[in-house]
Chains A and B, each alone.
Chain A
Amino acid sequence: MVKEKAVLTGMHFMSGDIACAEGAIAAGCRFFAGYPITPATEIAEHIASRMPKIGGVYIQMEDEIASIAAVIGASYAGLKAMTATSGPGFSLMQENIGLAAMTEAPCVIVDVMRGGPSTGQPTLPGQQDVMQAKWGSHGDYEIIALSPCSVQEMFDLTIEAFNLSETYRVPAFVMADEVVAHMWEKLVIPPAEEIKIVNRKRANMPPEKYLPFMPDDDLVPPMACFGEGYRFHATGLTHNEYGYPRTQSSEVQTKLVQRLCEKIRKNADKIVRAEENMLEDAEVVVVAYGIVARAALSAVKKAREKGIKAGLLRPITLWPFPEKTLAKAAENAETIIVPEMNCGQLVREVERITKSSRVFHLAKLGEEPHSPMEIFDFIRRKHK
């Protein structure tokens, strides 16, 4: 079989959605299950055209519930697997996102956020799902969520999402938005050998020694896949290290659920990423992510021109949130500004961490993201 190249090394002009699809393929994703939805459709379309050429599977499922279920199945069968959706589909996926967290199935979920709630505004950007990414499924668990602000990051962070998801056996989200997904920009794809790829820790002990949910020191259990002779069981029920249900045991429940949380919390320093701009002496700290961060950076630069000591903190991982970076930046700040395309979501995290009474949220709903001027004016008004 003559195969097309998986990694399209070179300089490209691409949309964010297509870059995300290419990032997935470069990361080694060979299974995609999805259900079309604006503004994520182009990811599925591009994957549908690329997968058969590189020996991967594209399947269009009957809905998003099925899509994420199939992704978890493919992951357990040994493939790197992904789905992509937007708010309405993201809501449908929550049930099985919990299953992926509980059974520690590595998988990547892209949510190209549009305006909600409900069907909302299919073609307009939003950041209204960022809390849902953290808390969307019932029960206690942790996930990893990344926030791209450019076409290049749609590529890079999709790879990163796969790497983190494989490292920690956890669902990883790419929380994009309509603008980042639909805009076209330059994308540089490095040579394949320069792209860092992480594969899940595999079970390498003899089957009789394998306990599918016995963690190593990093709190992550090595993973066997179906068909390798390990003959193991996995369940969404509370389970012990053997994978067997123990639904009446507070001890098993406590141990399991705490580990699911701690494998992310205790490794947060290794996972967290944030971009810091002019924060050293900042009196005004702007916290912005995704496409909004680009306008925020312009606004901060403009403020500096006008003599206001402003800086930008851009969380790249929304979850875990860059708590330490923010705490440090906020130490000497007088004013903290959080522009978001929602009615106030990540701002709650900022308030929680800084405990500052001078945190101001700038909402933007139902149209283009904030302009640099809007954020600049807000800085000027709030920072007296």
Chain B
Amino acid sequence: MTEVVEQHPFAKYLREAMMPHIWCTGCGNGIILNAFVHALDELQIDLDKLVVVSGIGCIGRTAGYTNVDSFHTTHGRPIAFATGVKLANPELEVVVISGDGDLFAIGGNHFIHAARRNIGIKVICANNFNYGMTGGQFGPTTPLKASTPTTPYGNIEHPFNLVHLAAASGATYVARWTTLHVRMLTASIKKLLQRKGFSFIEVVSQCPEIFGRRNKMRTALEMMEWFKKAAVIANFSDPAKAEITPEKIVVGEFLDLEKPTFEELLREKMNEISKENGE
């Protein structure tokens, strides 16, 4: 006998009242949210102890869509906000889901310092190579030569290699996937949620409506065909060499190590000090 379910089994993870979402047809953000929700479900994460924080941007709406404690900060500040949350209550699982512009242009300083301190927050970046929300202007991950409304003659800025930046800044778990690698991405998000230190996943994501159509990839399919053709899985290869070019997108897990977190060191220090006080 088949069971009739009234509700999608994952409905509990989403705020129905926030639907419909704002994302364009073919946008990769839904795939990322889907992978995130699958990871939560597979791990049976305690939703009362999960906080999702986003900045401003298309992907920044994710915080509002997840049915947990969530906060939509000012542009660029989700990591700094999340740092306060995590240190105030280390029991909470604090996940930042935000964009390439939010996390690496206006918020770049917060990213490198949170990674350096090894604050136990988890960061997922939807890298769609542009500022989707404001109409597709170039950003810190836009490839050289790409056309955007503010690089009408082609981008002359070199993009960041986000996984290299994360690794060099001190992140303890670093991975990159594309929206095509849904299973790997979900497995990776599960790991991210299980690690205790600063963890980072870059998700290379299609933005056909705003980025793609100015760059000869008019549809989601065309963008994902690029991912399919160019992606090379190179687990634990040197993140410095993990390029993203028209020919090659290096994906995989680059780093997975243990290092004391800020919260642990702070707790240790407190215990040390109060022992001295007690003697």
Contact = CB atoms under 8 A, between A and B. Distances in A.
Contact of A230 (B69, B266, B270, B277): B69
Contact of B84 (A74, A99, A103): A74
Interface string B79-90: 011111111110
A227 B52 CA distance: 11
A69 B72 CA distance: 12
A73 B81 contact: yes
Interface residues of B, number: 44
Interface stretch (A75-83, A108-116, A120-128, A152-160): A75-83
A66 B269 contact: no
Interface string A155-193: 000000000000000000000000000000000000000
Given A53-B274, A72-B81, A77-B88, A231 B48 contact: yes
B88 A31 contact: yes
- Interface residues of A toward B: which range? 35 or more
A358 to B, nearest CB: 44
A52 B87 CA distance: 13
Contacts of A59: 83, 87, 262
Contacts of A96: 74, 77
B277 A74 contact: no
Interface stretch (B60-68, B123-131, B170-178, B205-213): B60-68
B71 A227 contact: no
Contacts of A242: 17
A227 B49 contact: yes
B18 interface: yes
B11 to A, nearest CB: 14
B72 A226 contact: no
Interface in B112-139: 113
A333 interface: no
Contacts of B73: 69, 99, 236
B150 interface: no
Chain B CB within 10 Å — which of A69, A230, A231 has the most? A69
B109 interface: yes
A106 B215 CA distance: 46
B64 A78 contact: no
